[in-house]
Amino acid sequence: MPGRMTEVSSRRPVDGGIPAGMLAAVRQERPLIHHITNSVTINDCANITVCAGAAPVMADAPEEVADMVEAASALVLNIGTLSVAQVEAMLIAGRRANDLGIPVVLDPVGAGATEFRTASARRLLEALDIAVLKGNAGEIGVIAGTGGSVRGVDSAGIAADPLATVRECARSTGAVVAMTGETDLVTDGGRVYAVRNGSPLMERLSGTGCMAASVTGAFAAVADDLLASSAAALAAFGLAGERAEAGARGPYSFRTGLFDEFAALTPDDLARYARIEEL
């Protein structure tokens, strides 16, 4: 069963101008986001990046990834359908991104489900300077070493308190950690943001976690504060999900609505309706 979040005595809403400004920056700068991602959701990740206002490139050939990342403003790594060759491409691209100071976002999809996935996630974390680690509760619990359970690529919960887990993961990895769930938790090991935007239908559609990583990469590309940008990205994606739910007949019409609502999202929408609290 999932852990219970420790109650925090002081919760402060975050100024809506912060996520609004970040969405405006993405739309204005249109950063190129280099993805090395999984074959199941690659098209959805490309399209949600476009809807966010950024430009995607999906390139995983070891022969070109170092050159491709030089043109990018962020690198998103997703191990959903990993192979030995793909991990090597991630290491090549990640090292070049680190050299250039380009933020690297890692989505450790299914870490904990198999030894290969867990070892690959840990190898990337050890070899690269990961700016943002985005995963579900089970994946983050496994990486933090506090206890997590994964079924396939889906979270089956964590044993420890979610707040303690996400903080420990940030402290042990040195990354900003975004743990997605009913309430998303984002921390650098010190400050913690809770993001309460979202829709239950997001759990009924394959690929929403992968898309969230793409949006996180787009926001990271234009930000100095990766903690704030990660919270803003999840709030924007969650708000699009809330609006898509209103007109959805089921998971697939929700999918279409999710893209449409994200593309239509404005900075003013985020300023008014982003639900981010500092815990």
How many domains is the chain built from? 1
Give this prediction's pTM.
0.91
Contact status, residue 137 vs residue 168, Cβ threshold 8 Å: no
Instruction: State mean pLDDT over 96-120.
Output: 94
User: What is the extent of the structural domain holding 22?
Assistant: 12-278
For the stretch 13-66, pLDDT in tens is 777 789 999 999 999 999 999 999 999 999 999 999 999 999 999 999 999 999
Give how far Cα 141 sits from Cα of 123, 137, 164, 208, Å. Answer: 17, 6, 10, 20
Tokens 């900003």 correspond to what residue?
Answer: 176
For the stretch 213-271, pLDDT in tens is 999 999 999 999 999 999 999 999 999 999 999 999 999 999 999 999 999 999 999 99
- Phi, psi at residue 70, to the nearest 5°? -65, -25
Burial class (CB within 10 angstroms; exposed 0-12, middle 13-18, buried 19+) of 61: exposed
Q: How many CB atoms are located within 10 Å of the residue 259 CB?
A: 17
What is the per-residue pLDDT for 6?
40
Bridge partners of residue 271, in order along the sequence: none
Contact status, residue 155 vs residue 136, Cβ threshold 8 Å: yes
What is the per-residue pLDDT for 145?
81
Q: Taking 90 as the threshold, does the pLDDT of residue 1 lie above it?
A: no
The CATH number for 146's domain is 3.40.1190.20
Residue 1 lies in a domain: no
* Mean pLDDT score of the chain: 91
Question: Nearest 5 degrees, angle CA 223-CA 195-CA 46?
Answer: 55
Higher pLDDT among residues 101 and 9, named by residue: 101
Residue 2 lies in a domain: no
Contact status, residue 105 vs residue 77, Cβ threshold 8 Å: yes
Give me the amino acid identity at 156: A
Contact status, residue 155 vs residue 139, Cβ threshold 8 Å: yes
d(CA 124, CA 128): 6
Share of the chain above pLDDT 90, in %: 81
Residue 262 lies in a domain: yes
pLDDT-derived band at 160, boundaries 50, 70, 90: low
Instruction: State mean pLDDT over 80-99.
Output: 96
Residue 4 lies in a domain: no
Give me the amino acid identity at 65: V
Residues 6+ apart with CB under 8 A from 236: 19, 23, 52, 197, 215, 219, 262, 265, 270, 274
Residues 6+ apart with CB under 8 A from 163: 5, 6, 8, 185, 192, 279
Residue 191 lies in a domain: yes
Residue 3 lies in a domain: no
Bridge partners of residue 217, in order along the sequence: none
In 108-225, which ranges are continuous DSSP H helix?
115-127, 137-144, 162-173, 208-220
Instruction: State mean pLDDT over 1-14.
Output: 50
Residue 7 lies in a domain: no
Residue 5 lies in a domain: no
Give me the amino acid identity at 251: P
